[in-house]
Amino acid sequence: MGNKEKGSKAERELYQMFVENSYRAVRVAGSGMMENTAADIIAGKKGKKFCIEVKSSKKPIKYITKKQIEEFIIFSDIFGLKPVIALRFNRYGWFFLHPKYLKDSGKTLSITLEQARKKGKRFSQFFC
């Protein structure tokens, strides 16, 4: 399974979590592939609106380009949505956090599993 398929699988998994918790959610077609589609999922329910960038990793660190996060934050702001980075580390599950917790690693931004465990929250802590 290639990276694109793994990413799509993680997005579908997270989408289902939103549906099961009484949110309305949509996966953004072409996210990351076309201009002006800088989010993977948009989800909300009364009084709560989120723009979500989904990442998964089998390694204990995830790198994301600065450009991708900048475009994601702009996209979130245009729609008045709260930006959320959703990280799924294999064998450790999902962590949710604000993009400000990503660490500047030079050309990229990064988050380690350890940092995600300290700064991130689980689904029920973040969204419920």
Residue 18, amino acid: F
Rounded to whole angstroms, the Cα distance separating 41 from 106 reads 27
Instruction: Mark whether 31 is an active-site residue.
Output: yes
DSSP state of 106: S
Tokens 């390694």 locate to 59
Question: Which residue in the list 8, 22, 31, 56 is annotated as catalytic?
Answer: 31
In degrees and rounded to multiples of 5, residue 30 shows phi and psi of 75, 15
Spell out the residues 6+ positions from residue 106 whose beta carbon is closer than 8 angstroms to its own.
none
Report, as residue numbers or ranges, the catalytic residues: 31
